[in-house]
Structure 1
Amino acid sequence: MLDAAVKALSQILSPPMRSILWRSIGLALVLIVVLAIGLQRLLSWLAGDGERWAEAMLGPGFHTPLNALAWIISIAAGFGVVLGAVFLMPAITSLVASVFVDEVADHVEREHYPTERPGVALPLGLAITEGTKTALLTVLVYLIALPFVFIAGVGFIAFFIATAWLLGREYFELAAMRFRPPAEAKAMRKHNAGIIFTAGLVIAAFVSIPIVNLATPLFGMAFMVHMHKRLSGPWRELIEPRKAGVTAG
């Protein structure tokens, strides 16, 4: 696993990968900006409506303090958007990864596994669907864990564990589906759940590093291509007797 991580790290800065790296960073930044603007507008609008509602309830005499409170809330909302963008980086990188999955995998396979059968490119719709599902699930899990952030750091541990599970799951399945049907890729991931979760911890650590985490789609995909290759031998030995039995039956 350590060897796979080192190979992935070294390759994301190689000349063939730089074009993908810059394009993935650009897409991630666009998504972050759009998300930040949308959240800021929403929170500011809610603060303004809340001020008008409170003034209607309390009377015109409270206009000045309510206006000051709304202004403070708007500023706090701006900081909250920045913090939210940091926490949502795993969701954003999931979407970005679904766009560049095959380009990254192709480079890794050509450089490290030139004599083996290359993977088949995933349909873009399938890749984006998987990335969107992971992104939405990430947001849901984070919303559930958010109240625990204020309990002795329990929420941060929950964020990290959830990130490891979600990103390990997505990147491995995307790598596996280049060689096998989606159902078999998911079965392989479940069979190797412990190893893939441990690999997901490495990706979670990577995505937690500011700025560097913009390269997560490349690192995560390259890393899991190597992990899939390493696990394919034992999986082939397990699955082929089953298929032979079904065919014979």
Structure 2
Amino acid sequence: MILSDFLKALGQLTDGRFLGVLAAGLGLTVALLIGFFFLFVTIIGWVVPESFTLPWNIEITWVDNALTWAGVPLMLVLSVFLMVPVASAFIGLFLETIAAAVERKHYPNLPPARSIGVLEGLLDALKFLGVLIAVNLVALVAYLLVPPLAPFLFWIVNGVLLGREYGQLVALRRSDAAGAAAFRRRHRPTLFAAGVLMAVPLTIPVVNLLVPILGVATFTHIHHRLSGVSSPPAAARPARSG
């Protein structure tokens, strides 16, 4: 059933609202990657000499050239680590737009949702971002101790975190804080599985750029399915302009 929810989200990627958010998300992600790349290069420049002089006055100036040629691959590698916090910030900025687009297409008979303001969503996302970074820093020790298991540990840890946060915030649109927390506790295994489904492609460069938008859409479908809200057949859905 989770896969079905994900495929529904995937099928809506051409939606105009999705494309607008996707463009904004791509811009945010690329800006972060470029910023972190130049920060990385600056730190390397402080730590590593630009050139080395070997015996017999042989000078090697490999650092600048290596960083120049490695620019794009390095940013792709950085994206694996950056997309987790980006996915966290993303939900605070674009949750309402994506969830509303999903409901407009698939659940047109629902009453208006409780709007989560950008500031409210962003503050919650920043709190979660702090938890996300702290937990991943602790998990980094385990990654280094057992490198072969690092990808699986990454998926499990971030599956728990993303499932909790996405499930909670999507539920908050349709209930108060107590109701959203109860929903999350009641469906913890499903939300964890969906979180892992989001965490796995976060480790795949380029593909991970689509994960935040698909995550919000997928969790919106999951919430309504678990809450007993069904999507009417396409033929029965009222025509909506705009």
Instruction: Name the SS of the counterpart of 1:143 in structure 2.
Output: helix
Q: Which residue matches 2:220?
A: 225
Q: How does 1:19-34 map onto structure 2 within 5 Å?
A: 19-34=20-35
Q: How does 1:94-243 map onto structure 2 within 5 Å?
A: 94-150=88-144, 151-233=146-228
Instruction: Name the SS of the counterpart of 1:12 in structure 2.
Output: coil
Over residues 27-82 of structure 1, what are the superposed CA-to-partner deviations in whole Å (9 max), with x where a residue is unaligned? 1211222233234334543557xx9xxxxxxxxxxx957x98x959x96x988776
TM-aligned CA deviation for residue 117 of structure 1: 1.4
Q: How does 1:28-67 map onto structure 2 within 5 Å?
A: 28-47=29-48
Q: Which residue matches 1:60?
A: none
Over residues 132-175 of structure 1, what are the superposed CA-to-partner deviations in whole Å (9 max), with x where a residue is unaligned? 22323222222222233342412221111112111111211121
Q: Residues 81 and 148 from structure 1, CA distance in 2 versus in 1: closer, same or farther, beyond 3 angstroms?
A: farther
Q: Which amino acid aligns with 1:8?
A: A
Instruction: Report if the CA contact (8 A) 1:168-1:200 is conserved.
Output: yes
Q: Distance in 2 between matches of 1:154 and 1:38?
A: 29
Give the gaps of 5 or more residues in structure 2.
Answer: 230-242
Q: Decide which structure has the larger Cα Rg and report it.
A: 1
Percent sequence identity over matched residues?
Answer: 30
Give the gaps of 5 or more residues in structure 1.
Answer: 52-62, 235-249
Instruction: Report if the CA contact (8 A) 1:94-1:134 is conserved.
Output: yes
Instruction: Report if the CA contact (8 A) 2:89-2:126 is conserved.
Output: yes
Q: Distance in 1 between matches of 2:131 and 2:45?
A: 26
Instruction: Report if the CA contact (8 A) 2:37-2:74 is conserved.
Output: no
The TM-score, its normalising length taken from structure 1, stands at 0.75
Aligned length: 218
RMSD (CA atoms)? 2.9
Moved over 4 A (4+): 77-82
Over residues 4-44 of structure 1, what are the superposed CA-to-partner deviations in whole Å (9 max), with x where a residue is unaligned? 11101111233442122111111121122223323433454
